[in-house]
Structure 1
């Protein structure tokens, strides 16, 4: 049985680099991988917990404004310990906690954040975000390959 992987790219695609998460999710959707589903959303909302309930691995993708280094950051995530959803939007850890609370299941989770420098109204992506996008896609492929290698079923040893 194939394991399901979900990529959720989020951010405001009308605020230039802030939309890089959605752009990455849309690109991954175009790959046509049978076990990888991809969502491009404006923000993380509680209804996403339903999608996570049937997922083994989730990769959240978002933009961030760097302070000193312009690195694509990869971070493993756990559900928020002090889960409290306030309003209609949330962060990845709160969505994981909600999924755990509602469905008794929390997928393995990663957070990929891409540096951006232009968060003004517009749809043009800066060169920093464009470079970050390319690096993020490589890192996401590495996460997918690692997951696939972990999930490979070892056939029973018929020579025992």
Structure 2
């Protein structure tokens, strides 16, 4: 990692709405911003830890599922928040757990912002549901705002 910010899109394009993190990351990458690296991950904790260690700013975008979700709603989580969300990821190991593992190993970014997009469908298939697809531009703008705050 050579830039000042890293954007990580997490998800699976073959699990319908679970691909939203990848869709957001792809759109951010298309912007070609200097000093911003964009990667996509299938939620492999090792790959994430290798990528984000000591990076000035990391913005992770992932799908979230669980009770009381509203498809397309975007939420933020920052380590140290008093209100750790109950549904941070649609995967078995969520970002709070990966971050805790990174802390234990001394492999964390200097600043981490997690954006989750709540999803309604993670069944096998390709393509986002309309509500989740509609949230992609807003999520992209949220990522760009976070990157723009970076000195």
TM-score exceeds 0.5: yes
> Structure 1: which 5+ residue stretches go unaligned?
79-88, 152-160
- CA distance in 2: counterparts of 1:16 and 1:34, whole angstroms: 31
Aligned alpha-carbon RMSD (Å): 2.4
Partner of 2:36: 36
- CA distance in 2: counterparts of 1:133 and 1:121, whole angstroms: 20
Instruction: Give the secondary-structure state (helix, strand or coil) at the position aligned to 1:47.
Output: helix
The superposition leaves residues 18-46 of structure 1 with CA deviations (integer Å, 9 ceiling, x where unpaired) of 01101111111121112111111111322
Q: Which residue of 71, 74, 77 maps to 2:76?
A: 74
Partner of 2:84: none
- CA distance in 1: counterparts of 2:143 and 2:107, whole angstroms: 26
- Kindly indicate whether structure 1 or structure 2 has the higher relative contact order, using CA contacts under 8 Å at least 6 residues apart: 2
Question: CA 1:54 to 1:11, structure 2 compared with 1: closer, same or farther past 3 Å?
Answer: same
Aligned residues: 138
- CA distance in 2: counterparts of 1:104 and 1:4, whole angstroms: 17
- What TM-score, normalized to structure 1? 0.74
Q: Say whether the 8 Å CA contact 1:50–1:99 is kept in structure 2.
A: no
> Structure 2: which 5+ residue stretches go unaligned?
81-91
Instruction: Please show how residues 98-137 of structure 1 align to structure 2 within 5 Å.
Output: 98-103=101-106, 106-137=109-140
Q: Say whether the 8 Å CA contact 2:10–2:62 is kept in structure 1.
A: yes
Question: CA 1:76 to 1:129, structure 2 compared with 1: closer, same or farther past 3 Å?
Answer: same
Question: CA 1:108 to 1:122, structure 2 compared with 1: closer, same or farther past 3 Å?
Answer: same
- CA distance in 2: counterparts of 1:106 and 1:55, whole angstroms: 5
Which range moved further: 41-50 or 99-108?
Answer: 99-108
